Amino acid sequence: MATLVAGANAALTAENPGLGHVVVGMGWDTIPSRGPQAELVPFALMCDAGGQAVSNDHLVFFNQLVSADASATFIGDGDMEQIDVELAQVPAEISKIIFLAYADPEFRGPGNFASVRSAHIRVATAENRELVRFDISVAGLESVTAMIFGELYRHRDDWKFRALGQGYSTGLAGVAKDYGIGL
């Protein structure tokens, strides 16, 4: 298993021949509160070569469990929110899959990432063998309302993972604007 830093890349399929299926898990711990608190919502966004969402049917989250092509599936939560990706089934028009979380503004007041004390994203095999992990710095997140944890992307005929940790102060609306999602 490799631990990455922000901006680092890891070759997935080149270093793991025959890898056709991964589980991307995102997790975090928050400070419990009886008052306003962020309810983080995991989200996967499938993009074309221009970096735009292919369609609103290529989003995966709690309200749309499977992508239009059935290559990505939200498989639930628990200690970690997980999205299953069948790499071999991802259509050629998809060049990257972005994994993010946003603070749901309708749950216990407008939230942000200030109460998050640890956050990470990991890529594992279907058998739960961790391939890469990125522990995200949680310092100074008072104005962050959405965050891109990382992305799977095509590089020639292979799949790679990039650790990002890019925060947005404009929430899901800001992500939607940047990636062409219709809200």
List residues bridging with 125 in a β-sheet: 22
Show the domain range for 166.
Answer: 2-179
- The CATH number covering residue 150 comes to 2.60.60.30
pTM value is: 0.93
List residues bridging with 159 in a β-sheet: 154
For residue 175, the SS3 value is: helix
How far separated are the first and last CA of the chain, in Å rounded?
A: 37
In the chain, the number of structural domains is 1
Distance of alpha carbon 49 from its chain centroid, rounded?
A: 18
* 70 vs 179: CA distance, rounded Å: 21
pLDDT at position 125 is 95
Question: Hey, what are 91's tokens?
Answer: 């259509």
pLDDT at position 117 is 84
10-residue mean pLDDT profile of the chain (183 residues): values are: 91 95 92 71 94 92 91 79 94 96 72 86 94 91 92 96 95 91 79
pLDDT at position 115 is 82
pLDDT at position 80 is 74
pLDDT at position 134 is 97
